[in-house]
Amino acid sequence: MNGATASTPSTPASSKRADDLAIDVRGLTKRYDGRAVVDDVALQLRAGRICGFLGPNGSGKTTTIRMLCGLLTPDAGEGTCLGFDLRREGLKIKRQVGYMTQKFGLYEDLSIRQNLDFIARLFELDQRTQRVDAALDRLGLTTRAQQLAGSLSGGWKQRLALAACLLHEPRLLLLDEPTAGVDPKARREFWDEIHRLAAEGITVLVSTHYMDEAERCHELAYIAYGQLLARGTESEIIEQAALTVWAVQAPGAPALLSGLLAPLKQAPGVLSVAAFGSSVHVAGQDGAALDTAIAPYRQRPELHWSRAEPNLEDVFISLIGRAPDNMGPAVAAAPRRTTP
Ligand SMILES: Nc1ncnc2c1ncn2[C@@H]1O[C@H](COP(=O)(O)OP(=O)(O)OP(=O)(O)O)[C@@H](O)[C@H]1O
């Protein structure tokens, strides 16, 4: 559903008033060396919502985020961020957006307080000491204020980075894989904070590779090879994918299961074959074709087959299988692809 937006049960498209939308862009495109790494993306996000931005490595998430906050100029597309025109009002957007980059971007040889004070000066904020104190307090950093940023663990660094991008009281947070490499407890605390911010009316677009984080979002956008392939709530995305999923187990020889089923990945009708714990999920959209593909394997006595409910990961793996690959050699004036 490239270029389309999906409504959610609580936010029918008709009720999306323009002034409700923190992000409202369409046709967003960025090309490098003739290759569209972001291709005709449309995204609408209502104020106060948390949207998870998912997709495989190199699918265009960072590039999209950088276009949204005015750091990159799109080659095509238009729209607004926080009501400001993406092309003409980049500076106004930057002043009201908190952008957390994938890589820790603060000074490792400055203390937490010095880093925050530096950011406050960059933004020319008034009442700097009070703002820095409040940010330290909010993120539980007060007792560590004098600690060098470089000596912090991954989780604390992310907390500091979040504090830094909140200092100027942004209305929209663009978080690029904020919890990559962070342990589960720190990730949970980070997400609790994200939800508190959303409850205060801040809009959040957050890229992640973690399915448990996807499940904590109000809505999701899935991008592969630069094209937005799915958009909506978790249940809407699962429903739209219309997958049939079989779960297979091999109680006598679980280690052999993945290898045994590997040829199925190439079979007509099979969109994904993926291990989940002691099971392997085999998924496809055409139930009859899927049945034909798995028929030879269903005869095997060591394999136990049962129908399973599709989950988000089944859907995303299947979507990649169906997406057109843009990683090949660039074609100067390539014809527009149609979305599966
Ligand atoms: N400045 C650039 N010049 C050329 N190609 C680029 C540039 N920036 C990004 N790309 C390419 O654009 C594609 C999309 O990159 P992007 O960083 O947006 O993906 P991503 O979804 O954020 O990936 P990841 O999950 O690994 O962070 C990649 O193939 C990348 O190599």
| pLDDT, tens digit, 9 for 90 and up, residues 42-85 | 999 999 999 999 999 999 999 999 999 999 999 999 999 999 99
- How, if at all, do strands 97-100 and 76-81 pair? unpaired
Residue 326 — very low, low, confident or very high, per pLDDT cuts 50/70/90? low
Residue 277: pLDDT over 90: no
Q: Helix, strand, or coil here: 281?
A: strand
Cβ–Cβ < 8 Å for 256, 250: yes
Residue 313 — very low, low, confident or very high, per pLDDT cuts 50/70/90? very high
Centre of ligand 1 to C-alpha 308, Å, is 35
| pLDDT, tens digit, 9 for 90 and up, residues 159-185 | 999 999 999 999 999 999 999 888 999
Measure CA of the first residue to CA of the last residue in the chain; give whole Å. Answer: 7
Entry field: residues in the chain: 340
Q: Best substitution site from 33, 38, 61 to test ligand 1's pocket, by max atoms within 8 Å of Cβ?
A: 61
Q: How far apart (Å, rounded) are the C-alpha atoms in residues 326 and 213?
A: 27
User: Domains plus CATH for the chain?
Assistant: 16-238 (3.40.50.300), 244-309 (3.30.70.100)
Average pLDDT score over residue span 16-25? 79
**Number of the ligand 1 atom closest to the C-alpha atom of 60:** 18
Cβ–Cβ < 8 Å for 30, 75: yes
Residue 133 — very low, low, confident or very high, per pLDDT cuts 50/70/90? very high
Which residues form the pocket of ligand 1, taking CB atoms under 6 Å from any ligand atom? Answer: 32, 37, 55, 57-63
| pLDDT > 90 fraction of the chain, expressed in percent and rounded | 73
Pull the structure tokens for residue 208.
């992640």
| pLDDT > 70 fraction of the chain, expressed in percent and rounded | 89
Q: How confident is the model at residue 276, as a pLDDT? A: 87
Amino acid identity for residue 192 in this structure: D
Q: What is the DSSP letter of 11?
A: B
- Edge to edge, the sheet with strand 279-284 lists 272-276, 279-284, 244-249, 304-308
Angle between helices 128-138 and 112-122 (to 10 degrees): 130
Q: Is 199 left (phi over 0), alpha (psi -120 to 50) or beta?
A: alpha
Residue nearest to atom 8 of ligand 1 (CA): 63
Residue nearest to atom 30 of ligand 1 (CA): 58
pTM across the whole model: 0.87
Name the residue with higher pLDDT: 332 or 240. 240
Q: How far apart (Å, rounded) are the C-alpha atoms in residues 25 and 18?
A: 11
Average pLDDT score over residue span 81-91? 93
Q: How far apart (Å, rounded) are the C-alpha atoms in residues 66 and 200?
A: 24
Q: How confident is the model at residue 244, as a pLDDT? A: 96
ipTM of this predicted complex?
0.97
Q: How far apart (Å, rounded) are the C-alpha atoms in residues 35 and 196?
A: 39
Residue 7 — very low, low, confident or very high, per pLDDT cuts 50/70/90? very low
